[in-house]
Amino acid sequence: MATSGLASAAVSERRGRLRSTRHLGRELRLWARRRLVDELHDRWDGLGVTASVHAGTRRAARFAAFGDGSLLCFPWTALYNEGAIRIGTGTMIGPFVSLSAGMIPGQALLSDDVVRIGDRCLIGRGSSIVGHFSIDIGDDVYTGPNVYITDQNHGLDDLAMPIGRQWPAPERAVRIGAGSWLGTGAVVLPGVSIGRGVAVGAGSIVTADLPDFAIAVGAPARVVRYRGGGAPPQGRDGPTAAS
């Protein structure tokens, strides 16, 4: 009986040590996994700055112009034909932005001046600027996240063919005046000229020209009032945008 009791105690002790070892193994694996996740998070956060494009980097050299103090944040979603894109000084383009000239990488373009973004601009995260002919964004233009700006649209005329397979409609130049602000999710369609100091409300779709200092909202965007409460001020040569 004594021998049997000792054997049972020994078995119980071994089982206890095995459970402890297994528990320790699980704790070590969880600790190692947490360390790995924390390290990945730290590296990802750091890449937002260290892997960004700025003047002096090889990626910046691909651009037709990339001004001092400007930053294209990592990661981006689409970035190609930079040789037709010009970025001014002190401009910040947020992460997850699409910035392109033409339809496909390597496409022969008409000029090296398809997309122009001025000085001291801020382009919100997740936005898309898709140029084929001419998109001109003036100095000090700010956008919220997920803004879409393009100078080309799908063709719609052939009822027998899916819209996505139709030849694109002719490109029409887009201009956004200095000091303007586009709210979150705003869309600027081909052929639009937005004046100076214009505020476009979140979610608005701009399909027609907006005069200087207008405040426009809706789909399609319509002027609801002017900054300062009056008519758009006259420049030296009259209004600088259609009113």
- The answer to whether residues 85 and 132 belong to one domain is yes
- The answer to whether residues 105 and 201 belong to one domain is yes
Residues with catalytic roles: 154
CB contact set of 97 (below 8 Å; sequence gap of 6+)? 72, 73, 76, 77, 123, 125, 126, 127, 128, 129
Q: Give the span between the Cα atoms of 223 and 199, in whole angstroms.
A: 10
State percent of the chain over pLDDT 90. 62
CB 147 within 8 A of CB 125: no
Distance of CA 43 to the CA centre of its chain: 21
Q: Which domain holds residue 130?
A: 52-226
CB 200 within 8 A of CB 224: no
- The answer to whether residues 37 and 119 belong to one domain is no
CB 91 within 8 A of CB 121: yes
Q: Is residue 116 pLDDT above 80, yes or no?
A: yes
Q: Give the span between the Cα atoms of 67 and 22, in whole angstroms.
A: 58
pLDDT 10s digits, 200-227? 999 999 999 999 999 999 999 999 999 9
Q: Is residue 237 pLDDT above 60, yes or no?
A: no
Tokens, residue 141? 């233009």
Mean pLDDT computed over every residue of the chain: 87
Within a domain: 238: no
Scan for tokens 């970025």, then name that residue. 87
- The answer to whether residues 100 and 182 belong to one domain is yes
Within a domain: 235: no
Which of 27-36, 115-124, 129-138 shows the lowest per-residue confidence on average (mean pLDDT)? 27-36
Q: Is residue 3 pLDDT above 80, yes or no?
A: no
The pTM of the full predicted model, rounded to 2 decimals, is 0.79
Give the model's confidence band at 22: pLDDT under 50 very low, under 70 low, under 90 confident, else very high: confident
Q: Is residue 58 pLDDT above 70, yes or no?
A: yes
Q: How many separate domains does the chain show?
A: 2
- The answer to whether residues 67 and 37 belong to one domain is no
